[in-house]
Chain A
C-alpha cells in the first residue's frame, strides 16, 4: 500500500476492570486506507464494538485500560484529552450507533442536534448551521426535509431516525465513519435502503468506514475488506471476495456455514460446538481451540502464529501455516 493509511492500529488491547476483569480486545492491529471500507465481523462479546468505541474513546475512562497505539489522521487517539478529544470527535471521526432512538437526544429536534455539531466544529452562524442541517437531511434522502428539521426523534420512523443519525454523523465531513451495527435494529426492507445509502455516501464523500456487524450479508454489501473477530482478536483478515470464496480460519468457515445462505434443506448444519470463552484472562493459547475440530496439542499451549497469505490477508491459525508450507 503506497498511500499512507488514515487509521493505523497496533497491538490494541482493552481491559475492563472487574471484578472479574474482562479482556475484551487482545492485540488488534490493522491499517485502513483513505476511502476504504473495513467490515469487522463477529459475534456478541467478540470485542468488535469495543474496538470501535475505543477508536472514538467512548469507553468509561476509570474502568478501562487501553494498551497499544491508535493513530487516526496523524493524531495519537489514545493520548487525546479534553478539548482536543472533543475536536476529534465528530470532526475527524464520528459514529453511527445501532439504536438511533437511544443515540439521538429526545428533547432536541433533529435540526438542533445537527446544527449544534456544525457550530461546535466550524464556528459558523446559527442560520448557516441550519442550512447545513437541511442540506444533510436532503443528502440522506429524508422525505420533506424542511419539515423534518423541526421534528423530534420520536416523531420519526426507525429508518428515518437512522438516516437522521447518519446526517448528524456526517455533518462535519469526518474522514472516518465508525458504524456500529447500523442496520441491526431495522426491518429487512429498510436495512437494505440504509446499507445502500451508506455505500453511496462513502463513495461521494470519499471517507473511510469501519463497519461493525454480526450479519455477514450486511458486511458483504458494503465492505472492501473483512476482519473476522473472535475473543478479542482478528482471526482472519482479507479482501471480501477472498474471505467469502476461500475462508481459511475454522471459525470463519463455521460462521459462513451458520449464515444458512444456500443451506441444503434437510441436511444437518455444520454447527460450531460450544460457546465463546469468557475472557476473564488474556488468552495465552488459541481461544478457538476448545471449539475447533482441527485443534492439535500445540493449539492449547501457545498462541497461533499470524500467517500472511498474500496482500493484506492474514490468518491466525496453524492450519494456514501448514497450507502455506505445502504450497
Chain B
C-alpha cells in the first residue's frame, strides 16, 4: 500500500544527545536517545498527526525534519530527493516550513510584522517591494488586516495574532509541507478553534501537507488523516486516525486514549490506565520500551524489540502481541 508517492519520506531517523556530565568511573557519557530510528512517509495533501507524552521525541523529530538540529543517522527524502545530497538544505527549506509552539520566542522582537514575513523571501532573492507586497497579501490570508497589523511589533499582538503571523511567515515561501509543532497548544481554547479553522482553510487554498504535532488527542483526531503515536523516541503505532482511535492496537496507544477525560460526569474514569511516569529516555528499557508499564508484558518483551507489523490498510503497530511467531504467548492474536 504505497500507491501515492510520498512527499516526505523519513527513513531510520536517529538523534542521540550527549549529556554534558561525565559518566561514572570514566565510562561513556550518558546519552539521551531522543529519537531512535523512526521511519515513516508523509503522503501529499494529508495531515499526519504525531502524538505522545513529553520526552517521547515528537518535537525533536520535527526539528530533525526541518534540519534545525542535525541527525545522527537516517535520511530525509523530499519528493524522492535526499536532503543534504540531491537537495541543498536551503532549497529544501523552501518546500518545508515550520510553525513553533512559542509564538513570542519565535518572532524577532525588534522587527515589525511586515519585515518578519518579508525577510525570508528577501534572503532568497526577492526584491524588497515584491516581498512587502507578499507580506501584505499573506497577512490578509491569515485574517489580520495589513493596515492595522503590518507595522506592529510582536509584543503588540495577542497570542492568537502572533501565531497567525508565524503561519504567514511560514507560508511566505509557498511551501508544500508545513510542520506545526504544538502550534495551537499555547492558545486559549476559544482562540485555538479560530486558528484550527484558519489552518483548514489555508490547507485547501495552498494545497498544503501538514505534519501536526500535539499532545491534545481531541485536536489531533479532528485535524489529522493519519496519526503516529510515539513513545520514548520510537514510533509504536501509525495508521488512519479513525482506525487508530477506534481500534488501537498497541497497549500504549490504548492507555493514552483511555486517559482522555470522558466529558461525561456519569462515565468518569475509575482506574488510571497506566501507573507511574514515562521512563527516562537516558537509559530507555531494553526490548520493547513500553514493557515496564505494560500489563501484557512477558519475558520476550524485555529482551526483543518488536517489529512494526501491518494490520488493515496502512495500520502498523510495534507490539509482540499481534506479531506471529514473536514468542509472546498471545502472539498473532488480534488485539
Contacts and interface: CB of A to CB of B under 8 A. Distances in A.
B188 A43 contact: yes
B190 interface: yes
B265 A220 contact: yes
Contacts of A257: 193
Contacts of A157: 276-277
A4 interface: no
A216 B261 CA distance: 9
Interface in B205-238: 215-219, 221-222
A269 B193 contact: yes
Nearest to A41: B189
B21 interface: no
Interface stretch (B80-88, B165-173, B266-274): B266-274
B302 interface: no
A260 B272 contact: no
A173 B158 CA distance: 42
A191 interface: yes
Interface residues on B, range: 35 or more
Contacts of A221: 261-262, 268-269
A284 B264 CA distance: 36
Interface string B271-289: 1111111100000000000
Contact of A241 (B192, B265, B278): B265
B277 A270 contact: no
B197 interface: yes
Contacts of B273: 189, 192
B53 interface: yes
Nearest to A192: B259
Interface string B169-198: 000000000000000000011111110110
Nearest to A261: B263
A238 to B, nearest CB: 12
Nearest to B189: A258
A261 B218 contact: yes
B54 A187 contact: yes
Interface string A167-192: 00000000000000000000111111
Interface string A239-271: 011001000000000110111111101001111
B260 interface: yes
A312 interface: no
Nearest to B252: A189
Given A191-B259, A269-B196, A271-B193, A260 B274 contact: no
Contacts of A271: 190, 193-194, 196-197
Query: Which of A217, A258, A276 is packed against the most chain B CB atoms within 10 Å?
Result: A258
B128 interface: no
15 contacts: A143-B276, A160-B277, A188-B53, A188-B256, A190-B277, A196-B271, A220-B265, A220-B268, A240-B265, A255-B189, A258-B189, A260-B193, A260-B218, A265-B221, A272-B193
